[in-house]
Amino acid sequence: MTSPSRNPIDRRAHALDTIAVVLPIDRRDELAELLTDQDVETLRHLLNEGMGENTLRALTSDLAYLQAWSLAATGSPLPWPAPEALLLKFVAHHLWDPVKRETDPAHGMPDDVDQQLRSQSFLRAVGPHAPDTVRRRLASWSTLTKWRGLTGAFASPALKSAIRLAVRATPRPRKRKSAKSVTADVLALLLSTCDTDSLRDLRDRAILMVAFASGGRRRSEVAGLRCDQLAVEPPIAAEDGPPLPSMAIHLGRTKTSGADDDEVVYLTGRPVEALNAWLKAARIERGSVFRKIDRWGNVSTRTLDPKSVNDIVKSRAALAGLNPAYYSAHGLRSGYLTEAANRGIPLPEAMEQSRHRSVQQASSYYNDATRRSGRAARML
């Protein structure tokens, strides 16, 4: 009888299966090669400690990138704790001046390191990294260092100064997660492509309508939605016609809520009908609400991956004749607040549904819409 722990890579792959909820499962074998035994044990400990799945998934992604970069740049796995010199090297490789690079090929990330990371699909875009990405990966590095009971040099004046100076040398305008918001008119175009009674059309229609109408839910919240989070509410009286069906979604713990919070949002009317149509057609009574559908049209027992929600938005945009590069799942979230502003819904009321904690973040979408249509923009 063979054992999954016969060699270190197989042993790590088996261990990673126990925390598959936080992994990009298609990269499990690659992660087993990149990560060390202690890396895997640290991730399992964090999961057992109750760290949110999305946070731990991001931490795993950052750790895999850091290990791949260290192997490419130094020929060795990450040392724990990392010396200040290695942290400075990381900044120099990722935040650099494109203008200086034109006259000094040695400036920034070396070509061999760049090529190695691209061959492993860790690098895709050309040019320096976004400062926020570098800061996030350094923060993840620091977190993992602390969880190992070690102290790093992440607060050193030299590192802070290097980041500050590098950011000045690599000015980048901030980009939204979705170049364009999925407002009601765009949503109507996406829904127009879900015009049959096929399981795929019914599922995608329900996903788009539920994600938007529930306040622009994050793709992880949509993908992870379970039947026990849904609760039928009394119908809502309508001005014309029969009462509208109503449903509550208990979000539980979210990206911005505490572990004990149970945040609730509500659906009314068409989104409820779309969701019920999908559940009935797919014969789903328990477990995950949104699931994979194979090439033969069979509904899987496996939940939908968060990335699949993004893919659905893009594929529906393409079918609607829109440029899919401009739209993503986050466009449903920004689109909800933009549409609320267009319809004159007060920001606090919109935030009750979107569950934004930061007025600054929510108002960045809301105010763009009101400014664009306001009197100040129409002086001539």
Q: State the DSSP string of 174-193.
A: ---SSSS---HHHHHHHHHT
Cis peptide before 81 (omega within 30 of 0): yes
If you average pLDDT over residues 165-173, what whole number do you get? 69
263's enclosing H/E stretch is strand 263-268
Among the ranges given (37-41, 46-50, 207-211, 255-259), the one the predictor scored with the smallest mean pLDDT: 255-259
Q: Are 303 and 291 in contact (CB under 8 A)?
A: yes
Residue spans of the domains in the chain: they are: 8-169, 184-377
**Residues of the chain with pLDDT > 90: what percent?**
35
Name the nearest CA neighbour of 148 among 31, 40, 226, 296: 40
pLDDT of residue 41: 73
pLDDT exceeds 70 at position 187: yes
Considering only residues 177 and 184, tell me which one the structure prediction assigns the higher pLDDT. 184
Q: Is the pLDDT of residue 128 over 60?
A: yes
The confidence score (pLDDT) of residue 1 equals: 41
Cα–Cα dist 169/104, whole Å:
15
Percent of the chain with pLDDT over 70: 75
Question: What integer best gives the mean pLDDT of the chain?
Answer: 81
| Residues 252-270 pLDDT 10s | 754 554 444 568 889 999 9
Whole-angstrom CA distances from 26 to 29, 32, 76, 209 are 8, 12, 25, 28
CA–CA distance, 100 with 116 (Å, rounded to integer): 23
Q: pLDDT tens-digit profile of 136-155?
A: 899 999 988 888 888 889 98
How far apart, in whole angstroms, are the C-alpha atoms of residue 114 and residue 127? Answer: 10
Q: What is the dihedral of CA 135, 139, 140, 142, to 10 degrees?
A: 140
Residue 36 corresponds to which amino acid? T
Q: Is pLDDT above 60 for 375?
A: no
Quickly name the fold that domain 184-377 has. Answer: hpI Integrase; Chain A (1.10.443)
Q: Are 222 and 265 in contact (CB under 8 A)?
A: no
Q: What pLDDT shows up at residue 100?
A: 83
Instruction: Using the predicted structure, report yes or no on whether residue 364 has a pLDDT greater than 70.
Output: no
pLDDT surpasses 80 at 14: no
Distance between CA atoms of residues 171 and 95, nearest Å:
10
Do 267 and 210 form a contact (C-beta atoms < 8 A)?
yes
pLDDT of residue 259: 45
- Model confidence over 321-353: pLDDT tens digits? 999 989 999 889 888 888 887 887 777 777 777
The residue type found at 308 is: S
Q: What is the pLDDT of residue 141?
A: 92
Specify whether the CB–CB gap between 181 and 365 falls below 8 A: yes
Q: Is-above-0.85 flag for pTM? A: no
CA distance 87 to 110: 16
Please tell me the number of Cα atoms within 13 Å of 116 on its side-chain side.
15
Facing residues of 2 across strands?
none
Radius of gyration of the chain (CA): 23
Sequence-distant (6+) residues with CB within 8 A of 172 are 128, 130, 131
Of 250, 279, 283, which is closest to residue 267 (Cα–Cα)? 250
pLDDT-derived band of residue 51, with 50, 70 and 90 as boundaries? low
